[in-house]
């Protein structure tokens, strides 16, 4: 273990945002999963959640071994229970989902404990996910295509959260509790 590695791990943990989460509702293409986990790492998401379609566990394990090794990934069988469990921790869940109730993604306060729910590549956010969420958000589209790639939509929303949290000084103070900080540092240094 070099001092350089220790310093890099510490610098990342110093900026982790335990109250900014992502919940993937059936996202299953490996390149999208990896791209989303890379973005999570970059904006300081500590924990990502995924509702895993039957039989896709292997893909999730594979991606988690890449960029995802720096982002704790919690797997769920079913979306309603996943949303409820986040809500029970005081996290507001926003579904990235075009619907009559959707508000512009920039109008949400991401400094509050927030999870962003992303839908699957083809069928989008499930009805159960949309119903359980606290609100819906959309990224404006000025063209003819109906939706963005899911990893692109996740990044645009998460970097808006990053912008708001940076302005609020959230990256200048340690936000992980000391026990989780120590445990994660140990795991990262002794994989």
Ligand X SMILES: C[S@@+](CC[C@H](N)C(=O)[O-])C[C@H]1O[C@@H](n2cnc3c(N)ncnc32)[C@H](O)[C@@H]1O
Q: Which is nearer to ligand X, 110 or 181 (CB)?
A: 110
Contact criterion met (CB below 8 Å) for 135 and 41: no
Q: Which region, left, alpha or beta, applies to residue 112 given φ > 0 means left and ψ of -120 to 50 means alpha?
A: beta
SS3 of residue 137 by DSSP: strand
Annotated binding-site residue? 91: no
Neighbouring residues of 5: CB distance < 8 A, sequence distance ≥ 6: 189
Rounded CA separation 86/21 (Å)? 9
Q: Tell me which residues touch ligand X (CB under 6 A).
A: 96-97, 118-119, 121, 124-125, 138-139, 141, 147-148, 150, 153
Q: Are 135 and 103 in contact (CB under 8 A)?
A: yes
Distance CA 153, CA 156 (A): 5
Which residues, numbered 6-45, are part of the site for a second copy (CB under 8 A)?
8-9, 12, 15, 29, 31, 34-35, 38-44
Q: Which does 118 bind (CB under 5 to 8 A by kind): a second copy, ligand X, none?
A: ligand X
Of residues 9 and 125, the one with the C-beta less far from ligand X: 125
**Whole-Å CA distances, 130 to 6, 50, 79, 135:** 41, 15, 10, 8
Given a second copy, ligand X, none, residue 61, with its beta carbon under 5 to 8 Å by kind, binds: none
Q: Which is nearer to a second copy, 80 or 149 (CB)?
A: 149
Judge whether 117 is annotated as a binding position: no
Reported residue count of the chain is 191
What is the per-residue binding string for a second copy in 80-109, x denoting contact by CB under 8 A? --------------------------x---
Interface contacts to a second copy, rule CB under 8 A: 8-9, 12, 15, 29, 31, 34-35, 38-44, 67, 70, 106, 139-145, 147-149, 151-152, 155-156, 159, 162-163, 166, 171
Binding residues for S-adenosyl-L-methionine, as ranges, are: 139, 148
- Binding site, by residue number, is 139, 148
């Amino acid at each position: 273990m070099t001092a350089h590695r220790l310093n890099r791990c510490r610098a990342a943990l110093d900026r982790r945002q335990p109250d900014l989460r992502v919940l993937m509702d059936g996202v299953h293409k490996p390149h999208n999963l990896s791209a989303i986990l890379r973005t999570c790492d970059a904006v300081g998401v500590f924990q990502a959640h995924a509702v895993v379609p039957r039989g896709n566990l292997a893909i999730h394990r594979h991606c988690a071994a890449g960029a995802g090794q720096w982002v704790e990934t919690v797997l769920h069988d079913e979306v309603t229970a996943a949303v409820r469990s986040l809500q029970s921790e005081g996290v507001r869940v926003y579904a990235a989902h075009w619907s009559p109730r959707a508000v512009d993604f920039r109008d949400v306060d991401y400094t509050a404990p927030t999870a962003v729910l992303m839908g699957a590549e083809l069928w989008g956010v499930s009805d159960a996910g949309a119903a359980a969420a606290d609100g819906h958000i959309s990224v404006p589209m000025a063209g003819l295509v109906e939706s963005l790639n899911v990893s692109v939509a996740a990044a645009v929303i998460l970097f808006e959260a990053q912008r708001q949290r940076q302005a609020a000084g959230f990256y200048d103070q340690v936000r992980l509790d000391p026990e989780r900080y120590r445990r994660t540092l140990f795991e990262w240094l002794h994989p």
